[in-house]
Chains A and B, each alone.
Chain A
């Protein structure tokens, strides 16, 4: 049985399979409307989430399956002090597959060690968020037509931003991918990612603290929110949150075919004035999140579209 804890739990071939299945689902959703009939997805969300939880639930419903779960630690036995290991042992007998979000890093891995059903990490603190990465990959592949030969700008909170870390690890497996990291000094990408991932794999990257000059060279601009919940100190959050705001003026420096992605929710780092720009694809990206989760659920449950 396979669990998805880190984006690297999936091989390039696995990812290709999931993205191809996602594209088939986009084309013919009716073909997949009953493949999970009689199956249940447990959504164990120990911290609030809108998109991720609802997209998992929508994905399972689109496949004809059912959903059960909780949406905050307060409404689960965690409030009584139950361990992740005990919770998943019990849930394993109630559901066929589980998606877990937890504020503590590594909690889904603990669950996977004790689970008898597939566990999908739906985000663990500032650590990994593999289904967001799959969503990002599907968006790039479907709208850009390729996953190789790309110059990717990563902007905002690159220190705590788990979506950025996961995306880097996933994208370096494709040919000729370069990164331009745009962030304040305090929120730069962690040294270990540079040393143990980018440098080790000889991936070209540059770090800058101004957005406009690098815009013309980007195929993609991946914006991230400076997340309040990742800071221990409120003053640091207030000082840095407005550092990098994408607006129509900055978009004038971008190529006609550059895409703007964002894992959402945004606060103010993308001005609403560019929402109607065809290059702003973050709402499309959120929609793709449902399709890619449908494909992942099918893969983990070893179902195909013909049953």
Chain B
């Protein structure tokens, strides 16, 4: 069993769908931080079998709510003095801009680089997002 030490102060992004951690890592630009960041892939999960996690040492000043669009059902735990002081279950934002990228080669965004990549929530139950231009479903698989 891989052992990664607990955080004293920081943020744990938990219940990321397996394989989704790097997308969140890149979106949050965690490579620019000087603090300790741990990515845990394919950790055991009682709910889903497998999950990814990200542990970040220190405060993180970004809008985390948007992460719901990248990986549905994830949770964010805020740690203070070694204790979880806040546990947030992220919902699905109605609309996200320049978070997800449309990969449909027939979409206008594939040839016009200046356009924003905007997705809207098409189905709350399944967490499906669709590009506002071509209505292609978002998939994090290329």
Interface residues of chain B: helix, strand, loop or mixed (majority): loop
Contact of B132 among A83, A106, A107 (CB under 8 A): A106
Q: Taking A110-B115, A192-B137 as contacts, is the C-beta distance between A125 and B106 under 8 angstroms?
A: yes
Interface residues on chain A, size class: 10 to 19
Chain B 64-101 interface mask (CB, 8 Å, partner A; 1/0): 00000000000000000000000000000000000000
B108, A110: Cβ atoms under 8 Å? yes
A127, B135: Cβ atoms under 8 Å? yes
A105, B114: Cβ atoms under 8 Å? no
Whether B40 sits at the interface, judged by CB under 8 Å, is: no
Which residues of chain A are within 8 angstroms of B134 by Cβ–Cβ distance? 105-106, 125, 127
CB distance from B31 to the nearest CB of A (A): 32
- Docked CA distance A127–B135 (Å): 8
Whether A178 sits at the interface, judged by CB under 8 Å, is: no
- Docked CA distance A107–B108 (Å): 5
CB distance from B48 to the nearest CB of A (A): 22
Contact of A84 among B106, B110, B112 (CB under 8 A): B112
Which residues of chain B are within 8 angstroms of A110 by Cβ–Cβ distance? 108, 112, 115, 133
- Docked CA distance A85–B122 (Å): 26
Chain B residue, CB-CB nearest to A111: B108
CB<8 Å pairs between A and B, sample of 11: A85-B112, A85-B114, A103-B106, A104-B111, A105-B106, A105-B135, A106-B108, A110-B133, A124-B108, A196-B122, A196-B128
Name A's B-contacting residues (CB within 8 A).
83-85, 102-107, 109-110, 124-127, 192, 195-196
In the complex, given contacts A83-B112, A107-B133, what are 15 additional A-B residue pairs having Cβ atoms less than 8 angstroms apart? A83-B114, A85-B112, A105-B104, A105-B108, A105-B134, A105-B136, A106-B108, A106-B132, A106-B134, A125-B106, A125-B134, A127-B134, A127-B135, A192-B122, A192-B137
Name B's A-contacting residues (CB within 8 A).
104, 106-112, 114-115, 122-123, 128, 131-137
Q: Which 5 A-B pairs have the closest CB atoms?
A: A106-B133, A105-B134, A104-B108, A106-B108, A107-B108
